[in-house]
């Protein structure tokens, strides 16, 4: 029988990977439907807002990667212990999104001069500012981002980190030991380890 969940995304990590991490963490079988760029124009109009990832389940369709992650976190019990902790998790996930969007502005900048300027501010200001604060948060929480224990924001952070590092061919957390600890804590989970070994290689962007 086909798995109940079907994730449709491009053949790279980015916004699909936190969803793949959460499904894998929970031992939930899923169809990892990776579409090729050439097939995207034909598929786009059939998606709710012309974008992926989308997740199908029992004839229903979900979109927006963070909303999907939040739903899966409930399914696999990786949410906060109370509403306040959920708020802290959501705020941290949103902060990671803020950083990702600033990063994307640099990555997708086509003008050479503007790109140089964006690179300077990304490496001298944006990364130190965001990663420094997130590292302090991970220090306070003993190698996790919220609540001193594993929650879905740790999976989101670790999964999206691949996209950052692949795109700039550098490890952006080299100088942030507590964020390294977050990544280690996630990657040592047996189901995540198994996913990392099993997932398609050479498509990390
Ligand atoms: N806020 C949305 C953003 C989705 C998004 O930007 N998807 C991109 C791929 S990463 C996409 O579908 N691009 C193709 C297009 O817009 O035509 C989410 O988190 O799911």
Report the CATH number of the 5-76+191-198 domain.
Answer: 3.40.30.10
What is the reported pLDDT for 1?
76
* Assigned token pair, 132: 């420094």
**Domain 83-188 - what CATH class?**
mainly alpha
Question: Is 83-188 the same fold as 5-76+191-198?
Answer: no
Ligand 1 near 53 CB (within 6 A):
yes
pTM of the model: 0.97
Structural domain spans, the chain = 5-76+191-198, 83-188
What is the reported pLDDT for 203?
65
Q: Per-block average pLDDT, block size 10, for the chain (205 residues)?
A: 92 97 98 96 97 97 98 98 98 98 95 96 97 98 98 98 93 98 98 97 63
* CA-wise closest residue to 134 among 157, 104, 105: 157
What is the reported pLDDT for 2?
81
Q: How far is the CA of 177 from the centre of ligand 1 (A)?
A: 31
Name the residue at shortest CA distance from atom 10 of ligand 1. 15
Q: How far is the CA of 159 from the centre of ligand 1 (A)?
A: 16
């Amino acid at each position: 029988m086909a798995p109940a969940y079907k994730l449709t995304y491009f053949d790279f990590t980015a916004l699909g990977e936190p969803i793949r991490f959460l499904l894998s963490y929970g031992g939930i079988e899923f169809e990892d439907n990776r579409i090729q760029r050439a097939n995207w124009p034909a598929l786009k109009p059939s998606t709710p807002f012309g974008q992926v990832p989308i997740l199908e389940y029992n004839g229903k369709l979900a979109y927006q990667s963070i909303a999907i992650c939040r739903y899966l976190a409930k399914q696999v019990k990786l949410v906060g212990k109370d509403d306040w902790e959920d708020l802290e998790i959501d705020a941290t996930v949103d902060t990671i999104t803020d950083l990702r969007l600033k990063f994307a502005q640099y990555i997708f900048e086509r003008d050479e001069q503007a790109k140089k300027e964006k690179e300077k501010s990304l490496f001298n200001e944006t990364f130190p500012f965001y990663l420094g604060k997130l590292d302090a948060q991970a220090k306070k929480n003993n190698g996790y981002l919220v609540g001193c224990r594993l929650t879905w924001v740790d999976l989101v952070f670790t999964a999206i980190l691949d996209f950052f590092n692949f795109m700039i061919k550098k490890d952006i957390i080299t100088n942030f030991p507590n964020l390294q600890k977050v990544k280690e804590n996630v990657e040592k989970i047996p189901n995540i380890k198994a996913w990392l070994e099993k997932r398609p290689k050479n498509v990390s962007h």
